[in-house]
Structure 1
């Protein structure tokens, strides 16, 4: 048996960063994503976001890939939002996402960061955060 623990901070936004994720929708969505991850054997440590994006802290098993997990979370959640008519327009996520590794020693820090998204975004927009994220991790 292989033992694998790889922590990944996954961030993705709504299509065109449209602010679909009001508090009411966001809380329902987060609960749904938690249940969906359990069903799909995705270990989700934390999920939260703001009006136009979500953060997830996941632990990847040996046979899983970041791309597949992102597809499962994003695709199924968009389907669920549209099926339940939670938005007036067709809901979509951006195709792109950010994913960076997290060391075991930083799991608690990242978990707390994710849990405090509303407070965080009262001071900084997602566009500012995305630019800082891209600069910090040297994304093009």
Structure 2
């Protein structure tokens, strides 16, 4: 007999200094990028949303990874992606 684990997390994080930098022009692409980051960590994005200064994520995360490591990677990767977009 096998085992089943389903770990759902509601993750919320804000932009630096709560600056309203998640503008509508890039919001959907940012959400897609975050979803890709979660999938790369063997998770599944259930729902994502937010406003200009913060993001809400509902995700199923792998029980083999520390939540803090996954959140760190999501924040770091999305921050780098946002900085790359401002250079274009």
Question: Scaled by the length of structure 1, what TM-score is found?
Answer: 0.56
Q: Which has the higher strand share?
A: 2
- State how 1:13-24 maps to structure 2 within 5 Å: 13-24=14-25
Structure 1 counterpart of 2:84? 83
Residue 27 (structure 1) shift: 1.5
Is 2:61 aligned against 1:69?
Answer: no
Q: Distance in 2 between matches of 1:24 and 1:79?
A: 17
Aligned residues of 2:12 and 2:54 also touching (Cα < 8 A)? yes
Structure 2 counterpart of 1:57? 58
| RMSD, aligned α-carbons | 1.8
Residue 59 (structure 1) shift: 1.4
Aligned residues of 1:34 and 1:44 also touching (Cα < 8 A)? yes
Residue 51 (structure 1) shift: 0.5
Uncovered stretches (5+) of structure 2, i.e. residues with no partner: none
Structure 2 counterpart of 1:119? none
Residue 53 (structure 1) shift: 0.2
Aligned residues of 1:44 and 1:58 also touching (Cα < 8 A)? yes
- CA spacing shift, 1:86–1:2, aligned 2, 3 Å: farther
Aligned residues of 1:4 and 1:60 also touching (Cα < 8 A)? no
- State how 1:1-140 maps to structure 2 within 5 Å: 2-85=3-86
Aligned length in residues: 87
Uncovered stretches (5+) of structure 1, i.e. residues with no partner: 88-140
SS of residue matched to 2:64: coil
CA deviation string 1:27-84 (max 9, x = no partner): 1201111222222322111111100000000112221222111111111111111123
